Chains A and B, each alone.
Chain A
Amino acid sequence: MTVETVEAVVDVQAGASVRRRRQALLTEMAIAAGITLLLLFIIPAILTASGQGVRVNQLGRFLALAIAALGIDLIWGFTGLLSLGHGIFFALGGYALAMYLQLQLPSGQIPEFFNLYGVSELPRFWQPFYSFPFTLIAVVVIPMLVAGGLGYLVFRNRIRGVYFSILTQAALIVFFNFFNGQQKLINGTNGLKTDTATLFGLQVGSSPVIQGTFYVLSVLLLLAAYAFCRWLTSGRMGRMLVAIRDDETRVRFSGYNPTGYKVFVFAISGALAGIAGALYTVQSGIITPKAMDVAFSIEMVIWVAVGGRATLIGAILGALIVNFAKTGLSEKFPEYWLFFQGALFLVVVTVLPAGILGWLRTEGVNWLRSLMGRREQLITYPSLEEDPDVQYERKNLGDRESDS
């Protein structure tokens, strides 16, 4: 074999792989669009028709949680930083929108709970939340800035691994206690109710139009978040994140400063949690400091672990599966949900360390094939696949019927 033919083969392969990648991307977009349409038009209709209208609201909330799961997947699955403090960003997003809704009052009035604590004047920091555009920006930017600031302090000092996890959890507890204690500012432990607020003359909690709108918003924003994360992780940025996870020291010695990348991805991840928090709050009717419960932030991590780390679809699936299992089980056996959750986590970690999707992509394929009575796929060493000599033999000799 001459050198030129080898190069030609490589070129042809490169061209083919570009075409294949484009094809795969188109297929993926078609599937995503299909699922979105299904979620928007068919599933709510079916659920309502079969008298399960409540489930639509549940689905909407869980789709919102899936957005937070995407954020966890970015920071943990791809970059390898286990954050146990995403409840902070979730709550910040939720509070931002809830404050706006609380302020939908005839002019001159302030939200009711202030009277309980003898506050007669709206605190200064509530003022901007009269503005709808400001609220929209705040839902994204406040969690993003908090995550970015926290991340900068932590990552600049090269705090990694379990210390990072502990620090995020500590921050979570600090925020929890702060929100819990501030009755005069944000109604403390009682939180802010959104279901009794009115928006455009409709009551948020009971108006089907508003709830329907937020359901649609959840679906669309989940799609947008997925597309964004997909874009983020497929290019050079995605490879950088994986590189940081694999070997941060090597990244440093290759001339990259990992701090910037980690702050960036942590901030993005916080913003996603903030959006999720806002959507979730409206659909569940209330935001309280319980959103910053230690257990809830750990639950977010469990969704991703169950679905499959570093597989964005896995994060979404994990959030939906775990949450539906949670409602299903806690309706039937209210006391046992926590045990189920613990067991689920243990099973995933021990039996399916790559999560459901990770398993499907590897052993799952062969398992399905063997169920259908087909031979398992054989994975050969790639150099053999690409060896020009072997390819020549395959083409010219391999397809012949054997002589016997």
Chain B
Amino acid sequence: MSGKILEIENLTVSFDGFKAINNLTFNMDEGELRVVIGPNGAGKTTFMDVITGKTKPTEGRVFFKGKSLLPYSEHEIACLGIGRKFQTPRVYLKLTPRENLELSCARYKTVLNSLFGRTSTAERRTVTGLLETIGLSLKADIPAELLSHGEKQRLEIGMLVAQSPDLLLVDEPVAGLTDEETEKVGDLLLALAESHSIMVIEHDMEFVRQIARKVTVLHQGSVLCEGSIEEVQNDPRVIEVYLGQQPSISDHQMKVLRIIASMAWADGELSRAELDLMLSQLSRLFSSDAEQQEKLRDELSVYVLQDVPVDQALDEIASPEERELVAKLSYDVIRASSQKSGSESINEWEARDYQDLIDHLDLPSDALTRLQTTVEA
């Protein structure tokens, strides 16, 4: 069955006249993994507060599996099947991960049950399984305050799952994590998405790219647009609100950027080295002022994270100098990725794409050799 798990109609939340959420309408299907992004102050966290009952809306309705959530308080909503992970990891620091999970896992949550109830074998087994899933089996019996930040994040996600909710709300799960930990959390969420509906709020665009299927952009308390990550990132309104302005580079410059980016994406991934190289080269190309370059780097990083087809863009780069420039930059970029992997040879897909590009650019052969020697030197 794939009904709507979450329906929100004309939601408005105002704090002393300030509308944190403004006439927001939102739907989520059962089994969906949805990412919600938006600039600071877009109302993302307030949005979660309303769903989980922490904040009561001024207007509008919230339905979970067809049932209105408004009359319920936080713990009742949690029992209905909505689990929430907070921005900073919130676990019980003085308890061990096992005890943390057991508390969340318990089916009956009244005072009497806590007094006389015992942890059932089934619950114990669930907890052991969960400890394995979140990779904390060996640290199950030390106080949670000794865990690293990333482990706490995973523990908290584990606690959510222990509640066996139908809908998981996850607020910035990878804030402050290393790349490796980010990937682990991403894998964990993807694994959970097999059996749960999940809504993730996130800022980290690379992470969004790793997990996102459908993205909703919030802005000033309303939904700005919704769609796949590519659609969303190419939407000019999104670019505008994310950067607070129209793209500061010209269309033409944008095309150059897109071509280079497509080279970097040719092997299906964008390494840190490639990204750095692209950003520094391009920002230097588009601006001469150091401060301006710094700003551009941030802005460009949004554009280069998208892998879009470039065939048309290629034809519009007319002048030979520019063509040469594009070829040089592309060569730089694919070399960067090969250096990262440590092998001498440039990787297969990138090499092929580069060859295509060179063919397309139709450069004179002497220009080509000249440029390769400058780069290698």
**Which A residues are within 8 Å of any B CB, using their own CB?**
6, 10, 17, 232, 235-237, 239-240, 242-243, 245-247, 249-250, 252-258, 260-261, 264, 382-383, 386-387
Contact = CB atoms under 8 A, between A and B. Distances in A.
A253 B74 contact: yes
Contacts of A264: 111
B95 A239 contact: yes
A252 B92 contact: no
Given A255-B109, A261-B111, A240 B139 contact: no
Interface stretch (B113-121, B207-215, B275-283, B349-357): B113-121
A201 to B, nearest CB: 42
A250 B79 contact: no
B92 A237 contact: no
Contact of B114 (A6, A252, A255, A261): A261
Q: Which label, helix, strand, loop or mixed, suits the secondary structure of the A interface?
A: helix
A132 to B, nearest CB: 29
B138 A386 contact: yes
Nearest to B99: A239
Given A254-B159, A382-B142, A246 B110 contact: no
A240 B92 CA distance: 10
28 contacts: A235-B115, A236-B102, A236-B106, A236-B115, A237-B111, A237-B115, A239-B92, A239-B99, A242-B92, A243-B103, A247-B90, A249-B86, A249-B90, A250-B91, A250-B159, A252-B75, A253-B78, A253-B84, A254-B75, A254-B103, A254-B104, A255-B163, A256-B75, A256-B103, A256-B109, A258-B75, A382-B138, A382-B139
Contacts, number: 92
Interface string B197-213: 00000000000000000
B79 A255 contact: yes
Contacts of A237: 111, 114-115
Given A237-B114, A387-B138, A246 B94 contact: yes
B135 to A, nearest CB: 11
A247 B92 contact: yes
Interface in B96-131: 99, 102-104, 106, 109-111, 113-115, 117-119, 128
Interface string B129-163: 00000000111011000100000000000010001
A249 B49 CA distance: 12
B143 to A, nearest CB: 10
B57 interface: no
B119 to A, nearest CB: 7
Nearest to A232: B115
Interface residues of B, number: 38
B12 interface: no
B225 interface: no
Given A243-B103, A255-B79, A255-B163, A236 B90 contact: no
B249 to A, nearest CB: 44
A4 to B, nearest CB: 13
A236 B91 contact: no
B91 A253 contact: no
B83 interface: yes
A240 B79 contact: no
B22 interface: no
A19 to B, nearest CB: 15
A260 B110 contact: yes
A249 B53 CA distance: 12
Contacts of B159: 250, 254
A25 B46 CA distance: 48
10 closest A-B pairs by beta carbon, nearest first, are A255-B78, A246-B92, A252-B74, A250-B90, A255-B79, A243-B92, A382-B142, A383-B138, A257-B75, A237-B114
Contacts of A254: 75, 78, 103-104, 109, 159, 163
A247 B118 CA distance: 23
A236 B163 contact: no
Contact of B103 (A232, A239, A383): A239
A387 B94 CA distance: 23
Contacts of A6: 137
A235 B115 CA distance: 7
Given A253-B78, A383-B139, 8 more contacts: A236-B113, A237-B115, A245-B94, A250-B92, A252-B78, A253-B74, A254-B103, A264-B111
B139 A243 contact: no
B90 A260 contact: no
B182 interface: no
